Amino acid sequence: MYQARHNIIVELPRLCDYVCDLLLEESNVQPVSTPVTVCGDIHGQGDFVDRGYYSLETFTYLLVLKAKWPDRITLLRGNHESRQITQVYGFYDECQTKYGNANAWRYCTKVFDMLTVAALMDEQILCVHGGLSPDIKTLDQIRTIERNQEIPHKGAFCDLVWSDPEDVDTWAISPRGAGWLFGAKVTNEGHCNCSSDSEGILDVDDCDQRTGQCSCLMGYTGLQCEDCEEGYFTNSTNICLPCACDSFGAVNHLCDSSGICVCKTGVYGPRCDECHPGFFHFSSTGCRPCQCHNHTNNCDPQSGVCLNCEGNTQGSNCEECKSGFYRSPGSAPIEACAPCPCSNSTSTGTCHTNPSGSPACDKCLPRYKGPQCDQCSAGFYKASGVCVPCECNGNADPQGPTELCQPDTGHCLRCNNKTTGPQCQLCAPGFIGDARAHNCTRPTPRLIPIPANTTTTEVPTPSTSSPSMPTTSTTLTSATTRGVLVATSSSNMSTTLSTAATTQALLTSLSSPTDNTTAALTEVSWTQFNIIILAVIILVVLLLLGFVGGVYTYREYQNRKLNAPFWTIELKEDNISFSSYHDSIPNADVSGLLEDEANEVAPNGQLALTTQGNCYKA
């Protein structure tokens, strides 16, 4: 026994606190569904407390049941569940006697203040501990009572726990000093109160006298038709409206007080009658998600075609790239498309991926080429970022490269029609004319006539009496043509050049072809012209060599004349002596070398032997 009492003292505070938390969640009018067993006024042997020796054990047992099955046990407050009454009718003394203090009493009275005051079975039968109150006409008035307190001595709260039914007409004062006595007439009036302002009452005179149920319009329920039936809502008014939930899109036909139905997956709207954004194909199973590869959340609610594709995509499922965009091979459809590296000024702006995975333009505009249409086509070059035609003045070689000109500078690669220059705008060396007019030609060669006045000067040839002396003859021919002296020399080595005829055949002039003093001109080829020029050069070199040889021969002749040996004969008494002199005569008079003198006999009797025209004086 001691152990049991000790456990109650230890566990009772925790039990009371736990049940208080449960009671806080209950309404003043707690709904109860049948079947149900109703027990009332057991007074310790059946009531909660008072007038019985086991009040504490009874109430503790009820608290354990409430803690174990909170939805199946409903405890209503009575007139003895108060501090004042329990101190008079024995519960306080019982706790004091059993445990030596009032702690258990205090724990239990804390629970008393939390107990609900009424129960409504199947929304038809009202259960209270005491009775009715003249201050209460509706259940809502009971719901507004502040019950978490000590029971007052009067008022609606007091009447519900102290009033008693009695065989009286209407209301009478209770001899107990609290509550009222009421008769059947009051009960019937309370049951059939169909004259209220409820919008749901069909007929104020039509009432069930047994239950007090008024006749309600469709969609209304409650004794006085004050509530809406399932499938109806008030929408913040006193009128019950049908929920009108779609049979396909809604989970059921019910809605909340604002008329919003509970929708299936992918369905939305107050009536659940359309697909939620991001879903399509409304059916009895709900709506299916849009298949747009995460590029949009919207699609046509009927067909499922994606709308407003992002990421530069298009197509019924946003699976394709827009024109001017591409996606690398192997990329997932959820990846965005990148812009094509193709300018609209050089290409159509669209592209594809080549086998290497790099983007390549679909089609280049005229003048452009390359994978990205950023290069100039043959016959064009880039100027200020734009490909323009090569400017070769129509002189580009058709047999040359197809590019015609450098792609960066525009300089022509190969010129034709005897032209040259960056744009083939000049005549090639050796040609004259207008390259842009395509008339570059060689200068016309012409023959130079031989002058009529040609003088020949012949220098006398000195000779010696010696037969071994070489004979050299020099002929100086002077041909004056535009102030040019042409000299030729002939010797015994057969160095003889005929200048007159050769000069007439080879020398050319670039003077006007209309000169009346020139002979007729003959058109020659470029090779022939080069051969003629080479022959003229060789002729000039030979002429110079001949001139130098003539001068050299003449000087040798003069030296030999001065250094020629001579013989002297001395007549002595018995013999004749010969002597030869080879040295030059010092201080000789050169002017006398060319004079013709007669042979003389020296005054000294010596005989000098000299050749004609070559006499020396001793």
pLDDT digits (tens, 9 = 90+) for 549-592: 999 898 888 887 766 555 455 555 555 555 544 444 444 444 44
Q: Which residue has the higher pLDDT, 387 or 482?
A: 387
Task: Give, in words, the CATH class of 378-441.
Answer: mainly beta
Q: How confident is the model at residue 411 (pLDDT cuts 50, 70, 90)?
A: very high
Q: How far apart are CA 363 and CA 381, in angstroms?
A: 19
Tokens 């079975």 correspond to 121
Q: Which helix (H) or strand (E) holds 139?
A: helix 139-143
Tokens 């459809």 correspond to 333
pLDDT score, position 200: 86
Partnered with residue 288 across adjacent β-strands are: 280
Q: How confident is the model at residue 522 (pLDDT cuts 50, 70, 90)?
A: very low
Q: Which residue has the higher pLDDT, 585 or 157?
A: 157
* Average pLDDT, integer, range 284-292: 90
Q: Which residue has the higher pLDDT, 200 or 19?
A: 19
E strands, 42-88, are none
Residue 80 catalytic? yes
pLDDT score, position 8: 66
* Average pLDDT, integer, range 241-269: 90
pLDDT score, position 188: 67
pLDDT score, position 225: 87
pLDDT score, position 367: 92
| pLDDT > 70 in the chain, percent | 74
The 10 Å Cβ neighbour count of residue 100 is 9
Q: How far apart are CA 222 and CA 202, in angstroms?
A: 13
* Average pLDDT, integer, range 261-284: 90
* Average pLDDT, integer, range 226-252: 87
pLDDT at 440 over 60: yes
pLDDT score, position 572: 52
Q: Which residue has the higher pLDDT, 306 or 399?
A: 306
Residue type at position 156: A
- Which CATH superfamily, name and number, covers 2-191? Metallo-dependent phosphatases (3.60.21.10)
Q: Which of 6, 43, 80, 293 is catalytic?
A: 80
Partnered with residue 43 across adjacent β-strands are: 47
User: How many H helices and E strands in the chain?
Assistant: 10, 37
Residue type at position 604: N
pLDDT at 534 over 90: yes
* Average pLDDT, integer, range 363-368: 93
Question: In this predicted structure, which of 69-73, 265-269, 365-369, 610-614 has the lowest mean pLDDT?
Answer: 610-614
Instruction: Check if the beta carbon of residue 145 is closer than 8 Å to that of residue 162.
Output: no
pLDDT digits (tens, 9 = 90+) for 349-361: 999 988 888 899 9
Instruction: Check if the beta carbon of residue 351 is closer than 8 Å to that of residue 343.
Output: no
Q: Which residue has the higher pLDDT, 470 or 527?
A: 527
Give CA 311 to chain center in angstroms: 10
Helix (H, G, I), strand (E, B) or coil at 408: coil
pLDDT at 469 over 60: no
Partnered with residue 32 across adjacent β-strands are: 121
| CA proximity to 310, closest of 286, 294, 289 | 294
Instruction: Check if the beta carbon of residue 326 is closer than 8 Å to that of residue 351.
Output: yes
Helix (H, G, I), strand (E, B) or coil at 513: coil
Q: For residue 573, what are the contacts with CB-CB under 8 A and spacing of at least 6?
A: none
User: Per the structure block, which two tokens stand in for 169?
Assistant: 């007409």
Tell how strand 286-289 and strand 274-275 pair up.
unpaired
Residue type at position 210: R
User: Cα-flanking dihedrals φ and ψ of residue 288, to 5°?
Assistant: -95, 150
pLDDT at 521 over 70: no
Rounding to the nearest 10 degrees, give the CA dihedral for residues 558, 562, 566, 570: 160
Domain-wise residue ranges, the chain = 2-191, 378-441, 454-562, 566-609
| CA proximity to 157, closest of 120, 189, 117, 193 | 117
User: Per the structure block, which two tokens stand in for 272?
Assistant: 């659940």
pLDDT score, position 608: 46
Question: In this predicted structure, which of 106-120, 377-391, 415-429, 436-450 has the lowest mean pLDDT?
Answer: 436-450
